[in-house]
Amino acid sequence: MNAQSIKPLQLKVEDISRILNSDKMLLSRMSDTCFRRCIASFEREYLNPLEQNCVDRCIYKYDQMIREVMSPSSQQQQNPQNALQKK
């Protein structure tokens, strides 16, 4: 094995690591946000229907926000110069 064959593999592993860390951060932030917004008390072992509904909506909204931010059209809006140069 030479250095050239190792370098692309390292870049892929670094990219994957960066993506996984980003996903962990998003999941942690979503969990924290939805917990603070939806869980009122610890009186029961399980979530009551209102808490469950709140958590479901919170996760759905978070998911929709992430999809919107990650969508190709959103990225083009963030980088209008790049979009113009590609045309």
Instruction: Say which DSSP state 43 is in.
Output: S
Protein fold of 3-76:
Helix Hairpins (1.10.287)
pLDDT for 5 equals: 53
10-64 pLDDT tens trace: 667 777 787 778 888 888 999 999 999 999 888 889 999 999 999 999 999 999 9
pLDDT for 23 equals: 83
Q: Where are the domains of the chain?
A: 3-76
**pTM of the entire predicted model:** 0.60
CA distances 10 to 24, 44, 62, Å, are: 21, 48, 32
pLDDT for 79 equals: 59
CA–CA separation, 24 vs 57, rounded Å? 20
Is the Cβ–Cβ distance between 27 and 62 less than 8 Å?
no
pLDDT for 18 equals: 78
Please give the residue that has the higher pLDDT: either 73 or 84. 73
